Amino acid sequence: MSLISRRISPAAFVFVLFVAAIYFVTPPPAEASPILIIQVDTVYAYPGQQDVTFPIYLQNLTDTVAGFQLWMMLDQPDIMQFTGGFDTSGTLTSGWEFIDVRSVGGQGFDIRITGLANMVADPYTPGIGFPQTGDIPLIKIKANIYDIPDTTTDRYVVLFMVLGDVNNFHFSDEMGNLIGIYLDTVIDTNWYQCMQWMPPPDDTICLNWQQVSGPPADSIFVDTVIVPHLDTNLVEVIDGAMVIHPCGDANGTGKVNIQDITFLINFLYKSGLPPTPYQTGDSNGNGIVNIQDITYLINYLYKNGPAPQYQ
């Protein structure tokens, strides 16, 4: 570290920072295979659907996970919101002693999930052993879909992890050691402006310093700090999505056309796949999917009948 306490030029400031940056900044780690893979599922829903469940999966290849914190956001908060609800039944965190799910912004447009397998007091609860293949969810989160009109064209909401802040995204083992993190040494610079100099001949000595945000300034204090970073070579994240289908979109293409009629015929009479979600096939909104929905779609598409609508 160094304290520069005399009057120096802006060029000198730049030179000090340039040399320090060359000396202290650590190069990024070399590429390696992931040891943790976090995947948010893609879920299909319909407008107005409440308490939609979407799973988050974990592939854990080399270490025991006993704690984690995840932070997710929505790219279209005008279509859906997180409720703060969650479900651990049948998940890797079932029986964990602490689970907290909340919106950092308080509006449900983001969600931060914190989990600890074992608190300080007894009993002891083990973490998630390895290997985990990602077949069992880590946790299941709840969301509500707004009652958006069928005229809305962009019905695809990305649920993405926020990776820039290690404080809100990390995993730890049973000893509390962070997994998939590397440390970097970076420059921390504080700038100061002298508010009162000594009178001549000692006018290079300051009697009263005030910290400022940057130049112009008389002095700087240069130090180094250790900063943790997520190693994305070791921790891979696969974002998820919420796909909201218009009513009548039985085959899930995002549009209502004759292909949906064919899809319903195959489902009802030829052992075809069911609509996903099921409600998209209920064109007339009576709560069941049957021949009447096929007739309803034919009337809508070819006889100026009413548009499909959810119950």
Q: What average pLDDT does range 33-47 have in this prediction?
A: 92
Other residues' Cβ atoms within 10 Å of the Cβ of residue 41: 17
CATH class of the 36-180+232-243 domain in this structure = mainly beta
Asked if residue 232 has pLDDT above 80, the reply is: yes
Write down the pTM of the prediction.
0.73
Q: Provide the 3-class DSSP secondary structure of residue 159.
A: strand
Distance of alpha carbon 259 from alpha carbon 238, whole angstroms: 31
Q: Which CATH superfamily is domain 247-302 in?
A: Dockerin domain (1.10.1330.10)
What is the per-residue pLDDT for 19? 35
Residue 72: pLDDT above 90? yes
| Under 8 Å between Cβ of 240 and 43 | yes
Residue 208 and residue 196 in contact, taking contact as beta carbons nearer than 8 Å: yes
Q: Answer yes or no: is pLDDT of 2 > 60.
A: no
Amino acid at 11: A
The answer to whether residue 289 scores a pLDDT higher than 80 is: yes
Q: Is the pLDDT of residue 62 over 60?
A: yes
Domain boundaries, the chain: 2-24+187-226, 36-180+232-243, 247-302
- Percent over 90 (pLDDT), the chain: 59
186-207 pLDDT tens trace:
888 888 888 998 888 888 888 8
Joined together, the tokens standing for residue 69 give 């914190």
pLDDT at 4 over 60: no
Range 162-190 average pLDDT: 90
